[in-house]
Structure 1
């Protein structure tokens, strides 16, 4: 596991809202704990020489995303909620627009949806959860790329209810 992968893991955990994540691989043991909103402690135990370098760089990279996440997600949601209804993720996981790689997407921009229609699938802990629409309308915008990680309450689709 290289430094880039560790930094991506730290960013994902910080955005997910999880209070603690432990990862153990062959010779690497990582524990990421989040306390208050801006306080994150990272403990890594690696029996290799590169461990001190990783411990110093990873917390420095973590400080910036914690401050950026709230401001980046609040502004677009406030401006577009006035015209459209936002469908948000009910769980943390990986967002998929298709039921499987060889199948067509569930919905496209311009698709008319009704209550109960499946909009996407979110994979969480090896389970694929179908996300159904709670409203009727027309898909105006897909806000998440296929195969992207999503967090709880993250906007997924904008729907025109008229």
Structure 2
């Protein structure tokens, strides 16, 4: 039979480990230790809202020498931004999880804006179900922008990086 101190030590060891359930049987005595199920709350990232500029506020902020922006010029600028983005390659998250830009809190990020990458360069880690998955760039080029922050929850297919392909 185990002594009370030995049982306490077992409980502490199980509590500190990743083991959820432990059974011990000796000389007809049986001890079963189970961890309480942990409930994790996951908060979804807030959806981004598109804000349309109000024409009156744009005109009021301009000096008399400036030409007021028309709806036509705003549409042209927006389409130019879309075409510039269409030339960039998006590295997307292959799973739902937590985005990590670096391998540990004390190290430098895998990549940042301006970093050159190859097809097999590790660009980040996405943790899913306590598994750390290295995400590789699927294109050779230069990182233009990092779209998510370290520790942020990401969704399947969510763009993580913009890359200018070579």
TM-score normalised by length of structure 1: 0.53
Deviation at 1:81, TM superposition (A): 3.7
Structure 1 residue ranges, 4+ long, deviating more than 3 angstroms after superposition: none
- Listed as ranges, the matches of 1:48-127 within 5 Å are 79=82, 81-127=85-131
- Structure 1 or 2, whichever has the larger Rg, is 2
- Equivalence for 1:160: 164
Which is helix-richer, 1 or 2?
1
Corresponding residue for residue 151 of structure 2? 147
Cα drift, residue 108 of structure 1: 1.0
> Over aligned residue pairs, what C-alpha RMSD do you find?
2.5
**Residue 83 of structure 1: CA displacement?**
2.1
Task: Give how far 1:134 is off.
Answer: 1.1
Aligned mates of 1:89, 1:111 — CA distance in 2: 19
> How far has the Cα of 1:82 moved from its partner?
1.3
Q: For the residues of structure 2 that align with 1:120 and 1:103, how far apart are their CA atoms?
A: 12
Match of 1:131 among 115, 132, 135: 135
Aligned length: 97
What secondary structure is seen at the aligned counterpart in 1 of 2:108?
coil
Unpaired segments ≥5 residues, structure 2 = 1-39, 51-77
TM-score (norm 2): 0.52
- Whole-angstrom distance in 2 between the partners of 1:122 and 1:133: 13
1:124 Cα deviation after fit: 0.4
Q: Deviations over 1:66-119 (max 9, x none)?
A: xx56x76xx9xx925412011100000000000011111100100000110000
SS in 2 for 1:145: coil
